[in-house]
């Protein structure tokens, strides 16, 4: 690689994106520029297209559908791009410069796709990422397949949950760690299991913050509930924005026949951030629901809306009921 050119790793700031990149760079170290953000900052490719020094790009766990124009720009500049994801794609461009590993099945995630791509070379990080993405059955099976103990699997579950928890927020200021910083701290460990014995590790720092936020959300009761859906409203507070995703996953696991929506007031007051989980027993429909609204998108099992206007709340609940009352 020319000294004047740079490789870019562009990845979602949640557990799935971080653990996917950890697998790749633990297997194939590569110096380059790290581009990430809060979990909902998914149009990340746009931030690099004006860079003149791009040699190659790796994109992990961000929707191709939401990055079509930027991706096309990179390909038209003959920039080699590797794209691995499990969200909605839109039309996948045909280009000799594009390599993809895409699977939109609700039973997989980017960390599991990279695990396949690397033939299990970093399965511990894959397991961690899958737990963070709420694929409990798949993550547990992967750990058992490799002979992990129940205690080891439980720790990876906790770690994945905490990494994912850190990605939720309206802005970087809401987070405990910038996702780039968290990635770098995790990379310094030879294995995710090594964090358990280091009492100064980010695992324990995140757990302290998580426990405080979790205590706050326990008093929240549903805003609207039927046999098919449940909707929860969280206040305009940093703790609520941080815990919203984990709370949604927990509710989905507790009530596997209901679709779950966790709706959190944004700092702008007039809009909400929406996290939707399809019923665990029928993991589809979340993307179809959220894509009906501006700034909405995601995948079949889990999707969201970045800025639902407060005047659209009743409409959203009505459409959610229609989507999942099947």
Six token digits for residue 110: 């980017």
**Predicted TM-score of the model (pTM):** 0.91
Residue-level pLDDT at 37: 96
Predicted confidence (pLDDT) at residue 2 exceeds the cutoff of 80: no
- Mean pLDDT of the chain, nearest integer: 95
Distance CA 13, CA 38 (A): 5
Q: State mean pLDDT over 93-121.
A: 97
Q: E strands within 165-291?
A: 224-225, 229-234, 259-265, 271-277
- pLDDT for 178 equals 98
User: Over the stretch 136-163, which tens digit does the pLDDT of each residue have?
Assistant: 999 999 999 999 999 999 999 999 999 9
Condensed to tens digits (0 to 9), the pLDDT of residues 301-322 reads: 999 999 999 999 999 999 999 9
Q: Residue 1's pLDDT is what?
A: 40
Question: What is the C-alpha to C-alpha distance for residues 18 and 114, in angstroms, rounded to an integer?
Answer: 12
195 pLDDT more than 70: yes
Q: Is the pLDDT of residue 42 over 90?
A: no
Token pair for 188? 């310094």
Question: Could you tell me whether strands 80-85 and 98-102 are parallel, antiparallel, or unpaired per DSSP bridges?
Answer: parallel
pLDDT at position 80: 98
Tokens of 181: 């910083």
Question: Mean pLDDT, to the nearest integer, of 151-178?
Answer: 96
For residues 308 and 297, what is the distance between their CA atoms, to the nearest angstrom? 12
Model confidence at 88, pLDDT cuts 50, 70, 90, reads confident
Report how far apart, in Å, the C-alpha atoms of 131 and of each of 135, 137, 249 are: 5, 9, 11
Cβ atoms of residues 83 and 66 within 8 Å: no
289 strand-pairing partners = none
Contact 84, 20 (CB under 8 A): yes
End-to-end Cα distance, the chain: 54
- Which domains are seen in the chain, by residue range? 6-206 (3.90.1640), 224-324 (3.10.310.30)
**Structure confidence at residue 192 as a pLDDT band (50, 70, 90):** very high
Distance CA 103, CA 133 (A): 15
Of 50, 66, 40, 48, nearest to 10 by C-alpha is 48
CB contact at 8 A, 228 and 159: no
- How far apart CA 33 and CA 154 sit, in angstroms, is 33
User: What does the pLDDT read at residue 269?
Assistant: 72
Using the predicted structure, report yes or no on whether residue 118 has a pLDDT greater than 80.
yes
pLDDT at 326 over 80: no
Q: How high is the pLDDT of residue 3?
A: 53
Q: How confident is the model at residue 77 (pLDDT cuts 50, 70, 90)?
A: very high
| 8 A C-beta contact, residue 138 and residue 153 | no
Look up tokens 């507070």; give the residue. Answer: 237
The per-residue pLDDT for range 225-283, each reduced to its tens digit, is: 999 999 999 999 999 999 999 999 999 999 999 999 999 999 977 999 999 999 999 99
pLDDT for 43 equals 87
């Amino acid at each position: 690689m020319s000294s004047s050119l740079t490789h870019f790793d562009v990845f979602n700031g949640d557990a799935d994106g971080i653990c996917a990149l950890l697998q790749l760079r633990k297997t194939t170290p590569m110096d380059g520029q790290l581009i990430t953000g809060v979990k909902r900052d998914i149009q990340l490719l746009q931030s690099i297209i004006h860079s003149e020094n791009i040699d190659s790009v790796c994109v992990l766990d961000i929707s191709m559908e939401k990055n079509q124009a930027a991706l096309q720009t990179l390909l038209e500049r003959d920039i080699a791009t590797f794209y691995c994801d499990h969200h909605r794609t839109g039309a996948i461009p045909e280009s000799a410069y594009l390599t993809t590993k895409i699977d939109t099945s609700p039973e997989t995630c980017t960390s599991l796709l990279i695990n396949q791509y690397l033939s299990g070379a970093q399965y511990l990080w894959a397991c961690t990422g899958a737990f963070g993405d709420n694929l409990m059955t798949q993550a547990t099976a992967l750990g058992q397949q490799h002979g992990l103990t129940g205690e080891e699997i439980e720790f990876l579950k906790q770690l994945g949950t905490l990494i994912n928890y850190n990605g939720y927020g309206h802005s970087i200021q809401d987070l405990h760690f910038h996702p780039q910083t968290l990635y770098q701290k995790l990379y310094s460990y030879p294995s995710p299991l090594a964090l358990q014995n280091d009492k100064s590790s980010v695992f324990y720092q995140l757990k302290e913050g998580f426990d405080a936020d979790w205590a706050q959300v326990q008093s929240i009761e549903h805003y609207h509930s039927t046999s098919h859906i449940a909707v929860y409203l969280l206040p305009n507070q940093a703790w609520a924005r941080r815990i919203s995703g984990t709370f949604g996953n927990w509710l989905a696991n507790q009530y596997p026949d209901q679709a779950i929506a966790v709706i959190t007031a944004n700092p702008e007051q007039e809009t909400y951030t929406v996290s939707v989980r399809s019923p665990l027993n029928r993991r589809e429909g979340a993307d179809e629901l959220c894509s009906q609204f501006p700034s909405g998108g995601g995948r079949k099992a889990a999707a969201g809306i970045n800025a639902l206007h407060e005047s659209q709340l009743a409409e959203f609940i009505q459409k959610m009921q229609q989507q999942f009352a099947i």
